[in-house]
Structure 1
């Protein structure tokens, strides 16, 4: 029986998304592709570890044989894998100032690579968009730091005269500079508060998302506990589902979590993964973004899953983070993949707007960044990339295996 694990994106990417919505989109495609059947779900909360749970969304087909008899058949099950709290639990305990400093240090550390990559040929084609995005992050983090001098704005000339006997001249000049800076910053700060009342919240979310991803990729922070919990969920599925063949449905950073499990560093994938994971689906996978700015992340991977899985990759040319696994930013078959280009995905292009509708204004307003959430909207009834995935799974007969 095919069984799926849904691994969503992180932070802003996962906003208002759930495994129930994801399953509902597949039900809609099932209804469009069949006649004489209706579909419904049953949702159970299961605990695969003492403190870790998952929602199991089971899709049933209901069909009438005649006027008096009918049958219900389980056809697919989605389990969700929640890793956001595990990844963020240390960072969320920090103050807004500490989060802001972490974001500033991240941008500062990556700045040489950001500049260098603008002028070299690489497989990642959206370097200008990400450079611009990181410069905005730099401005946001600096803005908070520049608010700090407002706390010494009470220092006036008489104060400085009074404390002059206790300070050196250069110290007094520094205080004057900070005082003047605070006076100049306060109007700008006021404008930010008036027009962007949620700026602190936005900064916290941005800092949290990018710094936790950086810590995961750069230092492996929380990676062991996340991968251990994913192994435990797969073990639970093996023990509680009938002959399961596991499909990994992943979106955004969730695809990196899945690739880490399939092609780990140092250790082999667990036996259940090697034997029972048959399909990987990635949507908006930031593979090329990470490979471009973290050169060693995909090196020295254990090659046990090559040719054991089928890989379907959905991408948008307008998405600044999505990977098309080609050397050019155009539509076509993937030319390379992971592990020295051995494991190559089946590419599926999904667009909601023409490429030529994007211009300088779109670039300046970060439209390419917001397009990372364009694969589906908040409603489960709208069109989405799910239809393309569903059709490809039908073509490869993965609804039956």
Structure 2
């Protein structure tokens, strides 16, 4: 049977998710589609590099009337590809001030494109949502950075006189301005702390996630080591699995990692990728978001894999980041892929609520971000988009079941 690689989202998108939960959802769909059959998993930790490991989750089938002497059938194997630590390792040790300064610089740099995106309705339909999100990020970053001028209020009158006697006039003017600024910054910071739950933790996560994504896309930071490890995992699978046909199951930023490997910049994909990967599954892929705010990222890509893979794309029209590969925010067939029309994905729409239920209040309370994490819930037993994927894989003969 084919082997799969599961590539999760980044940061908050990956919280409480695992390859074991992902495999468990497939077992549930297997159980719903058959009778008289038991399914179970075996988990093994493997090392494909000296310091890089992966969990291999194997799904087995056991027919209830099958003789005990017969071996159970291996149906599918999921390997997870962990890249979060690699992507964050240069940023995670920075303090809160530096993280929020980086976030502030990122939003400031993208502000012109954020504004122009508000008027690009024909090519990018989610400019309003993303502008509002980045505006909140700007406010959140400033809320922390503006705390520091307030520290000047701790200086007592005696020390204040001493400082004034040892400063030039222009330095005294700056000092007075910063002291006066505290009358504004303290209320703003207080409001942010009151109205943003767990603001310190949230700020750290948001700053870390968006700045590391920006560094990866804008400067290729950590891209070489991540793609090198991805090649190493594929090589391990090819050498150790009987059937080396590989499917990629990706979520959120994981789809960016996969597309980067399938359609690299400059060099051709490795021989193992070209010869063994034939299916790509993306859930909540932020392609249109990245293509709009980083328009050069997907330019001049090598298209060796364009006609070698089939692509299934799951999206929600309410998700602020998901792509439907159309020039509108409507349900329907995809119109283009990253290389034009050569690898147009098969679109599968997944919604958990009616579109008309979303209003201005939903917009202001960031329900569109929440939807990005709603393709499945924390529980492996709840409904999810896995059923759509599972049924499409069966229909396309990528998943067969012995009955």
Could you say which residue in structure 2 is the equivalent of 1:229? 229
Deviation sequence 1:271-296 (CA, Å, 0-9, x none): 01100101000000000000001111
Distance in 2 separating the partners of 1:243 and 1:173: 73
Structure 1 residue 119, shift from structure 2 partner = 1.5
Structure 1 residue 233, shift from structure 2 partner = 0.3
Secondary structure at the aligned position of 1:298 is classed as coil
More off after superposition, 82-91 vs 158-167:
158-167
Secondary structure at the aligned position of 2:46 is classed as strand
Deviation sequence 1:111-161 (CA, Å, 0-9, x none): 000001111244321110100000011111111111001221123555443
1:150 and 2:150 correspond? yes
Structure 1 residue 340, shift from structure 2 partner = 2.8
Could you say which residue in structure 2 is the equivalent of 1:265? 265
Deviation sequence 1:36-64 (CA, Å, 0-9, x none): 11100000000000000000000000013
Secondary structure at the aligned position of 1:299 is classed as coil
What pairs up with 1:57-76 in 2 under 5 angstroms?
57-65=57-65, 71-76=71-76
Distance in 2 separating the partners of 1:293 and 1:66: 56
More off after superposition, 41-50 vs 178-187:
178-187
Secondary structure at the aligned position of 1:6 is classed as strand
Structure 1 residue 338, shift from structure 2 partner = 1.2
Secondary structure at the aligned position of 2:163 is classed as helix
Gaps of 5+ in 2: none
Secondary structure at the aligned position of 1:138 is classed as helix
**Structure 2 vs 1, CA of residues 170 and 156 (structure 1 numbering), >3 Å: closer, same or farther?**
farther
Distance in 1 separating the partners of 2:328 and 2:195: 39
Gaps of 5+ in 1: none
Structure 1 residue 162, shift from structure 2 partner = 3.5
Report the RMSD for the aligned CA atoms in angstroms: 1.7
What pairs up with 1:6-85 in 2 under 5 angstroms?
6-65=6-65, 71-85=71-85
**Structure 2 vs 1, CA of residues 174 and 243 (structure 1 numbering), >3 Å: closer, same or farther?**
same
Distance in 1 separating the partners of 2:197 and 2:298: 40
Could you say which residue in structure 2 is the equivalent of 1:208? 208
More off after superposition, 76-85 vs 111-120:
111-120
**Structure 2 vs 1, CA of residues 186 and 239 (structure 1 numbering), >3 Å: closer, same or farther?**
same
1:337 and 2:346 correspond? no
TM-score normalized with structure 2 length: 0.96
**Structure 2 vs 1, CA of residues 306 and 41 (structure 1 numbering), >3 Å: closer, same or farther?**
same
Aligned residues: 401
Structure 1 residue 297, shift from structure 2 partner = 0.6
Could you say which residue in structure 2 is the equivalent of 1:311? 311
Distance in 1 separating the partners of 2:297 and 2:194: 42
Secondary structure at the aligned position of 1:209 is classed as helix
Could you say which residue in structure 1 is the equivalent of 2:171? 171
**Structure 2 vs 1, CA of residues 176 and 2 (structure 1 numbering), >3 Å: closer, same or farther?**
same
Structure 1 residue 343, shift from structure 2 partner = 1.1
